[in-house]
Chains A and B, each alone.
Chain A
Amino acid sequence: MARPLEEFALTAKRQKAWGWPIAVALFLAAVGSGLFLISLLVERVMGVPFDFGLILGIGVGGIATSAAFVFDLGRKGRFWRVLLRPGKSWISRGIILISMFVIFGLLYAVPGWWSWLPWTKETGLGQALMVIAALGAFGTMFYSGFVLSYSLAISIWNTNLLPILCVAYAFLAGIAMMFIMNSALGEGGINFSLLKVMEMSLIIFTMVLFFAYLMTTGYAGTASREATMLLVKGRLAWVFWGGVIAIGLLLPLLITGYTYINSDIGAPSVALLATAGVLELSGGLLFRYSLLRAGVFARVA
């Protein structure tokens, strides 16, 4: 029997508007904000000043993210216009949050280099700057999820689990950067055992979240089901299972677990952790890429 016209209008189609540049922008926003917050944690909780991490986080999160985002704009010269609708648009909100995190983060971090400034990290002003920068960085983590989840038309994005997944990924990326920097800069008094525990817990949390996410999207209508199938069984399956899950989550979990249990192996542990960091970052980038590629909307064709 022929299908009614309403069903005919429900054939799914993949979005093509956003590709690699946006995947890179979302990834860098997460790496930068994650690194900034983890560096703050190292500084405030472990008591180890870590200005390099703060500045690198700001550089990656602010400058590199904006560069990748502007690269994708059709009219780069009008970039400033994206700030105009924070009341409605998550792109506007995101750029404001990133600016907040970059400007206030820099103001918080610079007294580490320029002692002539009238405030330090410990003064009331320094603390206030830190809180605002941290809020900006935390908001940036959420933003990369909300900018997608706000799209009504693409139901695999349109879920509240996505921003939470993005926050988990951002913290993971921050720790991954710490593992990589550890191999270049040395431990410098940082409690890496705590970071390893955080890393393993976050990976397990992310995998559980992923499972819940796919269970939700797999049953959320035709387009969402098709998108989920594209990820888990279709053309993107090798990126998803091989890149996002195996390389990005499982291998780092195993490596970090191994170095945690065998904490006395010395130098190889540093190299292994750096490898875990690189794998995890690769998985994080592929996560954004596959998510964008799996963006399928119900289409009238």
Chain B
Amino acid sequence: MSRLGMVIDLKTCIACYACVVSCKVENGTPPTVFWAKVLEREEGKYPTARRIILPVLCNHCQDPPCLRVCPSGATTKREDGIVLVDAKKCVGCKACMTACPYDSRYFIKEIRGYFGEDLVPCERVSYQKHQEGVVEKCTFCVERVKKGLEPACVQVCPASCRHFGDLDDPNSEVSRLLKARLSFQLLPEIGTKPSVYYLT
């Protein structure tokens, strides 16, 4: 059995936001919705000041708390570990948003365009994939994965800091990286077992 996951090398990330933009292009998410984000913060004071960069997305947890609370069966986990929301089944109760410790889920209250009242042609096409009144999140670009491609954020990363693959396969690139380097997951103490790892 496979467990798809992502490994993000924080040493090589340059905070160019290409992943954020490629996610937007691939998934056509409405304004204020960011399935992929890059968090930045300045820490400390001169001369020890430093900038911390943390690209984040849904962690596709092995034990997803959002799945447990979903009353409608809209949130599911595939055999390969990808956690998905079926917009046709979601009732928009937002229980999953209170359960997700990673702030990875978005409630789509209304779908607006980026450029005023009327939708531009590309928005009219891409917004067909979205519904108002439901919750959405990163899908690891499941449609691309089904075709044997990598998620858009991985493919576009110019610094090659994102790696995607089967965490259960000892010979995969992600497994080898995790063996060779020090890594951590976000909030491991909560017990969600995220499938996104960070190399330090």
| Chain B: interface residue total (CB-CB under 8 A) | 49
- Of residues 99 through 120 on chain B, the ones whose CB sits less than 8 Å from some CB of chain A are 99-103, 107-109
C-alpha gap A9/B55 in the complex (Å): 11
Q: Which of A8, A74, A78 contacts B94 (CB under 8 A)?
A: A74
Chain B: interface secondary structure? Answer: loop
Distance A6 CA – B198 CA, assembled complex (angstroms): 10
Interface set, chain B 45-97, CB cutoff 8 A to A:
48-50, 52, 54, 56, 65, 67-74, 89-95, 97
Q: Is A105 engaged at the interface, CB distance under 8 Å to the other chain?
A: no
| Bound CA–CA A92/B98 (angstroms) | 16
Q: A15-B98, A299-B103 are in contact. Are A5 and B10 (CB under 8 A)?
A: yes
A85 within 8 A of B: yes
Q: In the complex, identify which listed stretch (B23-31, B163-171, B184-192) lies at the interface while the others stay far away.
A: B184-192
Closest to A4 in B: B200
A300 to B39, Cβ gap below 8 A? yes
- Contact between B91 and A150, CB atoms less than 8 A apart: no
Whether A1 touches B70, Cβ cut-off 8 Å, given contacts A9-B186, A75-B90, A300-B186, is: no
Q: Does A121 contact B (CB under 8 A)?
A: no
The one of A81, A298, A300 that contacts B91, using a Cβ cutoff of 8 Å: A81
Instruction: Closest B residue to A15 by CB, please name it.
Output: B98
User: Chain A 79-92, CB within 8 Å of chain B: the 1/0 string?
Assistant: 10111110011111
A1-B48, A6-B184, A81-B91 as given contacts; A90 in contact with B69, CB under 8 Å:
yes
Of the candidates A1, A3, A88, the one whose C-beta lies within 8 Å of that of B68 is A88
Complex: how many Å from CA A64 to CA B93? 17
Chain B residues within 8 Å of A75, by CB: 90-92, 133-134
Chain B residues contacting A28 (CB-CB under 8 Å) are none
A151/B91 in contact, CB under 8 A: no
B135 sits at the interface (CB 8 A): yes
Measured CA separation A95–B93 after assembly (Å): 13
A297 to B56, CA, bound (A): 16
Report the separation of the CA atoms of residues A242 and B73 in the bound assembly, to the nearest whole angstrom.
41
Give the CA-CA distance A122 to B49 in the complex, in Å. Answer: 77
| B160, chain A: closest CB distance, angstroms | 20
Collect the chain A residues with CB atoms within 8 Å of residue B74's CB: 81
The answer to whether B186 and A73 have CB atoms under 8 Å apart is no
User: Do A18 and B91 form a contact, CB below 8 Å, given A13-B103, A89-B69, A153-B65?
Assistant: no
In this assembly, does A295 line the interface, its C-beta being within 8 Å of a C-beta of chain B? Answer: yes
Please tell me if B44 contacts chain A, counting CB pairs below 8 Å: yes
Q: Which residues of B contact A78 (CB under 8 A)?
A: 72, 89-91
Interface membership of A17, Cβ < 8 A: yes
In chain A, positions 197-228 with a C-beta closer than 8 Å to chain B are none
Identify the interface centre among B44, B135, B187: most chain A CB within 10 Å of its CB.
B187
Whether A267 is near chain B, meaning CB under 8 Å from some CB there, is no
Asked if B143 is an interface residue, CB under 8 A from chain A, the answer is no
B71 and A295 form a contact (CB under 8 A): no
A-B CB contact pairs (8 Å), 10 listed: A2-B50, A17-B98, A72-B93, A78-B90, A82-B91, A89-B71, A95-B71, A153-B190, A298-B187, A298-B190
